[in-house]
Amino acid sequence: MSQGYPITIYKEPDLRRSSLVLGWSEDMGNLGRKVTDYLNWKLRGEEFAEIEPEDFFSLGGVAIEGNLARFPESKFYACQEHELVVFQSGSPGAEWYKFLNSVLDVAEHHCRVKELYILGAMVSFSAHTAPRELLAVVNSAEMKEVLGQYDLARGMDYQTSPGERPTLNSFLLWVAKGRNIPGVSLWVPIPFYLAAMEDAQAQKKVLSFLDERLDLKIDFSDLDQEIREQNEQLAQVRSRFPQIDDYINRLESNLMLSEEENGELIKKIEDFLREGG
């Protein structure tokens, strides 16, 4: 479409051969926002550009989250010492192809990005005590080989079922492929009863991979502490509510719960975590 260029650059970053990590700010377990925020915090990411919202988001008002008015944001941050670009954005509701190309325009033309890492979360029916897996979908056989040395599940077979649509992550991976940018879409399963909350273990899983792959040398002691605290809170719920403990025990034994039981488990855990234990 021949409309105005939707990108605003505040400051040209000094990057030679960078990697782009992209997270959506409203995904499951708040994973995209938490991981990109964490990278920006730890690696001193500096905002340098954004994509203007009017072509891509419904602007019929503002959303209110946590008592605050929110406005769609699509921002780029540069972590110059680490040759890393972080992009955090809401998920666009229109003009997806133009949006995704705008992301890659900034990545290619202003940051010389050589690789793309897309973050995503998916629902899991395992208990939170099971180790988190990290699944990878790549856009080239070469990228698959490069990632062979990491602890990733790389053999996924999948096709959309009738009535379903591909994810925006797949769309971006495909656009990147068309521009010869090697990319990987990373998927971490989050226990269903933490999907509307946060899952520090899932965040750690993704961040550990990025740390190793991009040689970021992050000290995770704070995140480890957060994981311990969340596990303690979940242990408290189990000890206080025998029914919840029974449900989680069954999940740990790979048994399915009924829809009603799932609902009860979600509600109890969410209420408990929101009240801070």
Partner 1 sequence: MGIRLYQEPQLENPILVASWPGIGNIGIIAVDTLRGILEAEEFGEIEPWDFFYPKRVLIRKGVLEYLEFPSSKFYFKRTGGKDIIFFIGEEQPTEVGRMYAEGRKAFHMANLVLDVAEKFKCRRVYTSGAAVALTHHTIKPRVWAVPNSESLIPEIRGYGNTVLMSDIEGRGGHGNITGLNGLLLGVAKKRGFEAICLMGEIPVYLQGLPLSYPKASKSVLEVLSHSLKIEVNLDKLDELDQEVQRRIEEFYQQIPLEIRGQLDRLKHVAYAQPAEPGPITEEEEKRIMEDVEKFFQKRGGGG
Taking CB under 8 A as the rule, does residue 139 contact partner 1?
A: yes
Contact status: 112 vs partner 1 (CB under 8 A): no
Residue from 115, 112, 103 nearest 7 by CA = 103
- Among candidates 239, 151, 241, 227, which has minimal Cα distance to 188? 151
Q: Which is nearer to partner 1, 177 or 213 (CB)?
A: 177
Alpha carbon separation from 271 to 197, 200, 237, 267 (Å, rounded) = 10, 18, 10, 6
Residue from 79, 104, 173, 273 in contact with partner 1 (CB under 8 A): 173
With CB under 8 A as the contact rule, the residue among 177, 179, 213, 250 that binds partner 1 is 177
| Cα 272 off chain centre by | 24
Among 54, 63, 123, 166, the residue binding partner 1 under the rule CB under 8 A is 166
CA distance 141 to 148: 11
Residue 140 touches partner 1, criterion: CB under 8 A: yes
Q: Is residue 165 involved in binding partner 1 (CB under 8 A)?
A: yes
Query: Is 63 among the residues that bind partner 1 (CB under 8 A)?
Result: no
What is the spatial distance between Cα 273 and Cα 277, in angstroms, rounded to a whole number? 6
According to CB under 8 A, which one of 71, 93, 109, 232 is a site residue for partner 1?
93
Q: Give whichever of 178 and 242 is closer to partner 1, judged by the CB atom.
A: 178
CB 119 within 8 A of CB 206: yes
Handedness of CA 108, 102, 144, 153 (dihedral sign): positive
Residue 185: enclosing H or E segment and its boundaries?
strand 183-191
Note whether 221 binds partner 1 by CB under 8 A. Answer: no
Under rule CB under 8 A, how many of the chain's residues touch partner 1? 33
Binding partner 1 (rule: CB under 8 A), the pick from 62, 94, 255, 256 is: 94
Instruction: Determine if 144 is a binding residue for partner 1 (CB under 8 A).
Output: yes
Rounded to an integer, what distance in angstroms lies between the CA atom of residue 223 and that of residue 233?
Answer: 15
Q: Which residue has the tokens 């890393």?
A: 84
Task: Kindly tell me which residue out of 97, 212, 229, 256 binds partner 1, with binding defined by CB under 8 A.
Answer: 97
Residue 181 vs 265, nearer CB to partner 1 = 181
Residues that bind partner 1 (CB under 8 A): 1, 58, 93-98, 135-141, 144, 153-160, 165-167, 170-171, 173-174, 177, 185
